Every structure is written in C-alpha cells, then in structure tokens.
Structure 1
C-alpha cells in the first residue's frame, strides 16, 4: 500500500523495530543488613549502573523489581565512578530504582532478558523468592536471556525450568567465589556460599583469581564473578540479545 512512498516505509520500519525491542528487567535486593553484623548493605551500585549503561545505550528500556518493591537499599555508593554518576543523575532511572516494582506487578512476556544485580543483600532475599524465580524461568523459556553478577547468582540457585531441572544444571556459571567471600571475611555471615550451592545444583563452576574480571556465557545464561565483571556482563548480555535477534530474522 505505501510501498512507493519511501518516507512512509521508513517510518513504518522504525515503528516496527521500536515495538519489537522488548524491555529488560533488573532485579535488586530489598535487604539492607549483613546478617547480625550491624553493617549495612544492599544492591551494589556498579552492578546495576554498568550493565544498565551498556543496555540502555543500545536502546533497551529497563524496569526494576525487588522482593519487597519500593526503594531499594544501595551499597558501594561511589560517585567517582562516572557510570555510577551517570545512572544516579538520570532522573527517570533514579526514580525507577527508588520505586521498584513488586514481583506480582511483573508480566514476564514484556521482557526479553532479566538481570540479577549483586550486593551482599542478595544473599538473604534472592534465593527463596519463588515469584521472581518463576518470572526468570518464564523469560528464559520464552527464549530470553538470564544474567547475573557477583552475588546476583543467588537468584539463580533455585530457578527450575518446566521440565523440573535447575536452570544452572549442566551450564557453565560463575559468581562471587568462596575465596572472595573469605577475603571479605563474610564466609560465616552469609547464609550460604554461592560457589558451593551452584555446584550442588549441577552448575559447572568457573572462576579466576579473586577480584579479577571473569564472565561466562552458556545457553543464554550470562554470569560474572565480581563487581569488576559488571560492565562485561552487560556487554555479554547485549551480545546474546543481538545474536537472538539475528537468528529470529
């Protein structure tokens, strides 16, 4: 109908592409204390801001969910990190993370990927949150991408797929390691050790020496070892999304 009108064709193409770009869901913790230590924690800002910067720049809209909803507690509030500052100074996204959605408000069909940000708080409220685990399983089984960094993989340990298997079973995975937990002297404070639990779920655990970048991608699952890996997790997630887009054409 509008084939001979180049302007209409271009507009139509742009609209179609924009409509096709599904959103990405970031999961952040609601928990603000490291056990009974009295030390405050929350989500690690750089593990939100760096993946956000990569994916937002690529044109994806990002929503935030937390186990309790509302304002998420923040840790590692470092404004000398220019990406942290860029995120924090963005009024739209600052408002989103200070008014996170509750799990029941999320429709998994709206999202092409889900990203679990770390921060020690995640160790207390990610693993046993069945609502968010079900959202992640649905996104994954809709041919989406699941990513997590540092303590974010705490959200992966109990995700089960519709065939009853754990999401991480048989896949290469990494996360904050036992050695790293010992180095920060919290191995007896966290409710479980991520490395051990992921292995128990059948994950093929990979790691580098403490506090060096390590990212692995396996079957639409992207994981990063520590805060140093956050930016690369964003890039690896984007690569997976671009690969999926190409294969769908």
Structure 2
C-alpha cells in the first residue's frame, strides 16, 4: 500500500457581496461534490479557508442529498487556516467557488503558497466556477504564472451578467485569467464545461464541480 492520497478543498471566508448589503460565501455544491468524489476515491480530505473556522455559506440546495451530507459530516466548523497546513503532506488542492472567493482568494498569500508548493512538487491544482480567482495571481517557484499558456474554464462574463453581478464583483474572472496569460475556454451558460491542461483542472460553473473532481481523481490515481 502506498501513502494515502491527501487533498485540500479551499473555501472562502468572505461573506459580503460587495456593497449590495447581501451576503455571500462558498457555493455549497461546489465543495460538496468534490468532497463526495474524493471520499469515494479513498482520499483524505482537509477543508481550508483563509480565516479558518466555519466559512460563510451560499447557494445551498436543501433538496440535494450530497450537499446535506457534506454540511453535516465535513467538519465545516473546523476548517484550517492555510498558514497551519503543511503543503508537503498534500497531493492536490481544489478551490471551490461562490462569489465570496473573488474578494479573498486572489490576495491570500498563504493559500497561494499551498497551491504553489503542491503544484511545484508534481501535485494537482483544481478550481471551479469562481474558484479560479485563486489562480489569477498565482506564481510558481520559477517565477512563472501558473495559468500562463494554460487552457482554463471559469465562470464566464455572460454568466456574471446573467446573475446581475458584473458591476458588483471586484473584477471579471474570465478577463483576469486572460490577462494572466491563460486561454479561457467558455462553454454554454450553466452547462458543464471542464478543461484539463496537464496537472491543472478547471470548471466553469456549479454544473462542472463533479466533473472537475472526477478529473482530479484520475490525475491522482
């Protein structure tokens, strides 16, 4: 038996939707689906968030059994701060989305350190929906940007417009990824779109969460 595969799922700690007066957080399905897929694959999963503790929730579907199981069993009250995680112990990191990530993922140095160390050591980096916000500024050990020259999927400008938040988010994710050197490959709105480029797996929207997770499982098999 080899060493157990260990993966991180990163969740936002940010709960304010700009200046709208509305709350946001992580999209439950975008964490629950990978959590379930990784558990089924026999992976050890650790939840991490910039501030640690219980992260703010957004987009919970009360009729979804996977989401209910995740909220009950995943240990959300005890997410770990990135500074307290040993990157060397993990094989992959999955950045779940939800609009909150647009405010804290791009600038969190400790989250970036985890992703950089995991990728530089041959591990997998994955993200879905707004989760790729974590990749916009991500620089590898050799000084290059992780997404430079890579094909990626992420929440599209059309989807942002459809939810009426184009003027609320601090930047448009697809545009920022393109500016960082990525080739953004959009699919139809609210339809699964998963893109794998080497050890980087990304998805466009909530419908893509399980698909990205399944690709991570394949990459770490």
Q: Under TM normalisation by the shorter chain, which class is it?
A: over 0.9
Partner of 1:102: 81
Q: CA deviation at 1:89?
A: 2.9
Contact 2:94 2:127 in 1 (8 A): yes
* Cα RMSD after superposing both structures: 0.9
Partner of 1:35: 18
Whichever structure has more helix as a proportion of its residues is 1
Contact 2:5 2:220 in 1 (8 A): no
Structure 1 counterpart of 2:50, from 48, 58, 67: 67
Q: CA deviation at 1:22?
A: 2.9
Contact 2:91 2:123 in 1 (8 A): yes
Larger Rg belongs to = 1
Contact 1:22 1:110 in 2 (8 A): no
Aligned-partner SS, 2:220: helix
- TM-score by length of structure 2 reads 0.98
Gaps of 5+ in 2: none
Partner of 1:111: 90
Structure 1 counterpart of 2:188, from 191, 209, 218: 209
For the residues of structure 1 that align with 2:77 and 2:15, how far apart are their CA atoms? 14
- TM-score by length of structure 1 reads 0.87
For the residues of structure 2 that align with 1:207 and 1:77, how far apart are their CA atoms? 25
Structure 1 counterpart of 2:122, from 116, 137, 143: 143
Displaced runs of 4+ in structure 1, greater than 2 A?
Answer: none
Q: CA deviation at 1:79?
A: 2.1
Aligned-partner SS, 1:114: strand
**Matching of residue 199 in structure 1 with residue 172 in structure 2:** no
Partner of 1:52: 35
